[in-house]
Amino acid sequence: MAPAYLEPIIFYGASALLILGALAVVFLPRIIHAALSLVLFFIATAVIFILLHAEFVAAAQILIYAGAITVLILFAVMLTQRSQSPESNPFNAQRLLAAIVAGATFAALLPALLSIRAADVPGPNTDLIPELGKAMLGQWVLSFEISSVLLLAALIGAIVIAKEN
């Protein structure tokens, strides 16, 4: 177990990496580099989940988002984008509108964020994983199996598309 004084340091470091990764996704000119910066964002998010004692969610974050979703994004970019001119500008004419909407959203959420106290946040639920397993293989078994067949079909389709090239 790490000393108590390390937790805020790790939190602020992970938060800085999270913000850095998010800004890199938005501002990097090449989409491949932006997609790879998304991995930094996802891993920093997983570190924050670990600090919140949500290890299962952190593992799912790394496996699903940092692994599978990033590979899916890179695969889609490589298949759809044949050429990218070096002078392409990733920004469009609606930058000002996007900045205004983002600022207004932040201003609207700020009072709610400032009103949260640490005492109001519930502690970790240690019974989450067994209950999740019971729900997925009990009440939601049909949805679980349909999604697994859908993922299998997507995997087979990706293999077929890759073999054609």
Q: How confident is the model at residue 157 (pLDDT cuts 50, 70, 90)?
A: confident
| Verdict on whether the full-model pTM lies above 0.85 | no
Q: What percent of the chain stands above pLDDT 70?
A: 85
Q: Which of 25-29, 77-81, 85-89, 133-137 has the lowest mean pLDDT?
A: 85-89
CA gap 71, 78 in Å, rounded: 10
Q: Give me the pLDDT at residue 91, please.
A: 60
pLDDT digits (tens, 9 = 90+) for 68-112: 888 888 888 887 765 555 555 556 667 788 889 999 999 999 998
Q: Give me the pLDDT at residue 132, please.
A: 82
Q: How confident is the model at residue 14 (pLDDT cuts 50, 70, 90)?
A: very high
Q: Does 115 have pLDDT greater than 90?
A: no
